[in-house]
Amino acid sequence: MAIAKAERLMNLALCLLGTRRPLSKRELRESIEAYLEAGSDDSFNRMFERDKDDLRELGLVIETVENLDGEVGYLARRDSNRLPPITLDAEEAAALGLAAKVWQQARLAGAASGALQKLRAAGLPEGVDPYGAHGALEPRIPVHEAAFEPLMLACRDRRPVVFEYRKASAARPEPRHVEPWALECWRGHWYLAGFDRDRGAERVFRLSRITGKVRSRGTGFTAPVPDVVTVRETVAGWAGEIADRSALIRLRSGSGYPLRAKATEVRELGDGWDELEIPYGHGLDAWLVEFGPDVVVLEPAELRADVVDRLRAVAKG
């Protein structure tokens, strides 16, 4: 939402909440600077009706009544727009405390801290540790990527974005047009899940591989947002954490210890090579490429072909 519109909506909400009697359109226009600058009456009327609908969509209860002069007036009664008392049990308080800690390295740190203080004043039981039973622990989820904040705002506002993305097997980044759904941290790295317009399918992107600025696009979403976005499960599957097949590889002796740790069987071949059987899922080809000439894929044929294609792409770059 643009800053100018957000300020205009806030001013309109304050006027409607602060009045003791219904205010007419004319009175509201004279009270809010942005309406005075709207130009013609038609422009103001369209702007006002949109703003009124937006506030109602955000949850503000706006009444429409006739004032003493017979004009249509508007007001938002405080008793109709008051939130119920906040009550938190120990587990809920701990969850909120941990959530506030997540933002300590982002620009939202101040807002999160202020919100937590208000919750403490409004509803936390006496003696409750807001960080749970292990209050001595200081959970930290690093947010070093510059793409995090613009992507978080794009997810919130449902705005498509464009960014340059470098795949693990590619030498150069490529532009991606994405409708962002959700951000999630998995094993110390942040990932974005969304709809890739160029590929016409759901994709997950690692933020550390986004280069340059994240730019917003004004057009709306073209694909429905799923009720549940399984970022971690998708990344785990692509990383080979969810194994549904078995691969046979040749590995140089004394190398590839992460591969050896995953192997279900290791056979010495001599001449400085071992043969390993590895359970795997989607994404093993990208991992094997990282070991370069120390790995030779024997089976299955499609995995071998994928690894060869990735190596050729790197060599061309």
Lowest mean pLDDT among 113-117, 161-165, 171-175, 284-288: 113-117
Give residue 124's pLDDT.
Answer: 53
Contact 151, 207 (CB under 8 A): yes
At 256, the pLDDT band (50, 70, 90 cuts) reads: confident
Percent of the chain with pLDDT strictly greater than 90: 16
Does residue 298 register a pLDDT over 90?
Answer: yes
Q: Cα dihedral angle (33, 35, 40, 41), rounded to 10 degrees?
A: -140
Does residue 160 register a pLDDT over 90?
Answer: yes
Q: Is the peptide bond before 84 cis (omega within 30 degrees of 0)?
A: no
Average pLDDT, the chain: 79
- Residue appearing with tokens 């960080």: 131
Does residue 60 register a pLDDT over 70?
Answer: yes
Contact 191, 204 (CB under 8 A): yes
Beta-strand runs (E) in the chain: 23-24, 63-66, 72-75, 161-165, 174-186, 189-196, 201-206, 210-216, 245-252, 265-270, 273-280, 295-299
Helix, strand, or coil here: 164? strand
The Cα 34–Cα 23 span in angstroms is: 17
Q: Cα dihedral angle (281, 284, 285, 291), rounded to 10 degrees?
A: -170
Q: What angle do CA 88, 190, 103 make, to 5 degrees?
A: 40
Tokens of 129: 């540790």
228 or 9, greater pLDDT:
9
Lowest mean pLDDT among 122-131, 141-150, 225-234, 284-293: 122-131
136 or 270, greater pLDDT:
270
Q: What is the pLDDT of residues 172-224, one digit of tens each?
A: 889 999 999 988 877 667 889 899 999 998 888 989 889 989 999 877 888 88
At 133, the pLDDT band (50, 70, 90 cuts) reads: very low
The Cα 157–Cα 249 span in angstroms is: 46
The Cα 139–Cα 132 span in angstroms is: 11
Does residue 285 register a pLDDT over 80?
Answer: no
Q: What is the largest CA-CA distance in the chain?
A: 100
Helix, strand, or coil here: 63? strand
Q: What is the pLDDT of residues 224-233, one digit of tens each?
A: 888 878 777 7
55 contacts: CB under 8 Å, gap ≥ 6: 9, 12, 13, 16, 62
Residues 253-273 as b/e (b if ≥16 CB within 10 A, e otherwise) read eeebeebeebbeeeeeeeeee
| DSSP characters over 90-131 | HHHHHHHHHHHHHGGGSTTHHHHHHHHHHHHHHTPPTT--TT
Give residue 134's pLDDT.
Answer: 43
Lowest mean pLDDT among 13-17, 27-31, 126-130, 162-166: 126-130
On whether the pTM is more than 0.75, the answer is: no
